[in-house]
Amino acid sequence: MKIFKKICAGWVLAIAQCLIIPAAQAHPHIWIEGGIELVFNSQGNASAVRQSWLFDELFSTYALQGMPRDKSGQVPSAELDKITGEWMNALADPESHFFTKITLGGKPLAFGAPLNARSTWDPKSSQLFLSFELPLESPVKIDAKGLEVDIQDPSYFVAFEYKSGSRAFKGIDAPAQCKFGYMPPRPLDPKTERLLWSIPPTQKELPENLREAVRQLSHQFTVKCP
């Protein structure tokens, strides 16, 4: 009986640990394979961020559930336009805001309503593809400090992937001296992690040094034009 109790206690501890770690985790239900481009105007200033999102098969199929199809399995473009419009409206809400943050030299940049939003559906792969452009409120000159685009769903409902690695980020009509970089999300070092845990959930704003640190949990795209 004693041995049984010990086994039980050990097992309970293991379960408790399993509970503690994922307790904070939301389940992702949507996977997006992303692509991103920075558009420059004729003066060599950055003017818009162009994004392409390829959705996973499960979500794509669910999103198109019950929609009319033609013989080849294609969904009429009017239906696709409707769903695109709904998404663009929903994504504009301040909390998610296209899962995109743009900063210039560390200062946030505002962007306007999305342009050229379009969805296509590939019946063969069962995947939806969405592309849209976020125009910067006013075009900006990028210097050595650089512009950064951070992509992430803070609620982890959507998991982003940028498979082509450092080639995922491209410039369109970019000045020759501009350098493009990409850093995938990376785990925090244990010390930062402990610091984060020590902040009470009631505290809405992170201290400056931690805010800098948690940025590495997003997909970070940087452009520097020295």
Site residues for other proteins per CB under 8 A:
5, 8-9, 11-13, 15-16, 18-20, 22-31, 56-59, 61-67, 86-87, 90-91, 93, 95-96, 126, 152, 154-159, 161, 185, 187-188, 193, 196, 199, 201-204, 206, 210, 214, 217
Q: Find the shortest distance in angstroms from Cβ 142 to other proteins.
A: 26
Q: How many CB atoms lie within 10 A of CB 185?
A: 17
- CB nearer other proteins, residue 47 or residue 84: 84
User: Minimum distance from CB of 140 to other proteins (Å)?
Assistant: 25
State which residue, 90 or 110, has the beta carbon closest to other proteins.
90
Give min distance, CB of 84 to other proteins, in A: 12
Complex with other proteins: residue 59 or 140, whichever CB lies closer: 59
Short-list 83, 21, 55, CA closest to 157: 55
* Least distance in angstroms from the C-beta of 91 to other proteins: 4
Nearer to other proteins, 97 or 167 (CB): 97
Q: Which is nearer to other proteins, 125 or 138 (CB)?
A: 125
Cα angle 172, 142, 103; round to 5: 95
CA of 42: how far to CAs of 39, 47, 79, 83, 136, in Å?
A: 10, 10, 36, 33, 15
In the block, residue with structure tokens 């900006």: 140
204: left (phi over 0), alpha (psi -120 to 50) or beta: alpha
Number of residues assigned to the chain = 226
Judging by beta carbons within 10 Å of its beta carbon (0-12, 13-18, 19+), is residue 9 exposed, middle or buried? exposed
Q: Cβ of residue 59: shortest distance to other proteins, in angstroms?
A: 7
